[in-house]
Amino acid sequence: MYFMNTTQAQIKVNLPLSMKDFLESKASKFGMPIAGYIKHLILKDIEDMDYPLYQASGKTEEAYKKAVAEFEAGKTLKVKDIDTFFEEL
């Protein structure tokens, strides 16, 4: 399974010391830091899940079709003020 590089989030988890010691022991068996081992456990847990797919709105699909047609026709877009362009999207 492949995951794209995305913005990272940090999570703090409180564990009993005995569980932390156990996790550190398991992680060290694989030569991993505890955070890497926990990430591995999470990835193993979700590896059989499908990445969520969402249906695009009709407006988005029409904009996509228009953009593809314009690209294929060789149409270019000239923008004088990029900030205004994106604000008006």
Amino acid at the residue 37 = Y
Q: What is the pLDDT of residues 21-35, one digit of tens each?
A: 999 999 999 999 999
Predicted local confidence at residue 42, as pLDDT: 93
- Residue in this structure with the two tokens 């877009």, named with its chain if needed: 77
Predicted local confidence at residue 4, as pLDDT: 59
Q: At what angle do helices 34-46 and 17-29 cross, to 10 degrees?
A: 80
- Residue in this structure with the two tokens 């995951």, named with its chain if needed: 3
